Amino acid sequence: MNLRKPSRLRRVVSTLLAGVIAIGCSISEGSGSAKGSLNVTDCWSGPYNLEPDFFTASPYREKSLVIRIQRGGDYQNFSDGLSILVDDIEDVRSRLGETLAVDLPPAVFPLGEASVPDPNPAPASASLFLQQTCRTQNTALYAVDRALLDENGECFGEAPPECTATSVPDTRIGTSKITFTKLFNGVIDEPDAADRLIEGSFDFFLVDPREICFGAAGAPPRCRGHLTGDFRFYFQRGRPGQAFP
């Protein structure tokens, strides 16, 4: 299968992170949680608790924001954590307290498919990286707006229907959501603590992008993880949250 989605998503996040190297980002003490269950082939199956204690935020041109919620302060390549991308800070700040959709970024599309603009793209995207737990390639799962659950509403069970499946009951669809109650305004030198606070909660249904039926109108990808949690920390200008050469 030709895959464009995961590679392009990594480039989107990498580009944003690279863009903030010169201006610094946040390494901040905070509080948060992320727990639920995972079903990752050859890695983890069962209850999972991230137990995050490391929080960073990286703004890009006061427009976008990458939030990283991680266990431990090691390099991302050796850690477990969540990366949340807010595409439009101003838009999300105007919708504080509102439940927002989470999905793959609108610029991400499968290889060989034409890029069709989404008239109503999700305002946030998220991925779970498992480099510490799995220590293998392809250890990232992505939050989507439609993930296939089993008959018990869980991320386990039988294999998903074929891509040619025409319908799936709503009771077997998991929908990722996030709610921000506070969000940093993206201004690096912001003096007001209230505008540097990042606070929210989430409910993520995670999938392996290799199982997405690209270009098909059939069943959504099989749910490989379900995590709920929250976070609260202040943006503090400093050196990047990960060392760079």
Section 132-153 average pLDDT: 85
**pLDDT band at 139, cuts 50/70/90?**
confident
Prediction pTM value: 0.82
Identify the pLDDT of residue 23: 39
Burial level of 194, CB count in 10 A (0-12/13-18/19+)? exposed
Q: Is residue 243 part of a domain?
A: no
Q: Is residue 241 part of a domain?
A: no
Distance CA(227)–CA(47), nearest Å, equals 10
Identify the pLDDT of residue 101: 97
Select the more confidently predicted residue: 209 or 138: 209
Task: Examine the pLDDT at 16 and tell me if it is beyond 80.
Answer: no
Specify the number of domains making up the chain. Answer: 1
Section 217-234 average pLDDT: 88
Section 123-151 average pLDDT: 88
Q: Is residue 132 part of a domain?
A: yes
Q: Is residue 181 part of a domain?
A: yes
Domain that holds residue 214: 5-235
Select the more confidently predicted residue: 203 or 13: 203
Residue range 21-75, pLDDT digits in tens: 333 455 667 999 999 999 888 888 899 999 999 999 999 988 999 999 999 988 8
Identify the pLDDT of residue 120: 81
Compute the mean pLDDT over every residue in the chain, rounded to the nearest whole number.
Answer: 80
Q: How many CA atoms does the CB half-sphere of 22 hold within 13 Å?
A: 5
Q: Is residue 240 part of a domain?
A: no
User: Which amino acid would we find at residue 122?
Assistant: A
Select the more confidently predicted residue: 22 or 214: 214
Identify the pLDDT of residue 167: 72
H helix count then E strand count, the chain: 2, 15
Q: Is residue 242 part of a domain?
A: no
Task: Examine the pLDDT at 241 and tell me if it is beyond 60.
Answer: no
Identify the pLDDT of residue 114: 55
Q: How many CA atoms does the CB half-sphere of 240 hold within 13 Å?
A: 16
Distance CA(206)–CA(147), nearest Å, equals 7
Q: Is residue 230 part of a domain?
A: yes
**pLDDT band at 216, cuts 50/70/90?**
low
Q: Is residue 97 part of a domain?
A: yes
Identify each DSSP E strand in the chain by its residue range.
25-28, 30-40, 44-49, 54-60, 64-70, 80-86, 99-101, 124-130, 140-143, 147-148, 173-174, 177-182, 197-207, 223-234, 237-238
- Helix, coil or strand: residue 89: helix
**pLDDT band at 187, cuts 50/70/90?**
very high
**pLDDT band at 194, cuts 50/70/90?**
very high
Select the more confidently predicted residue: 148 or 124: 124
User: Per DSSP, what are the bridge partners of residue 27?
Assistant: 56
Residue range 70-110, pLDDT digits in tens: 999 888 888 999 999 999 999 999 999 999 999 987 665 55
- Chain-centroid distance of CA 23 in Å reads 23
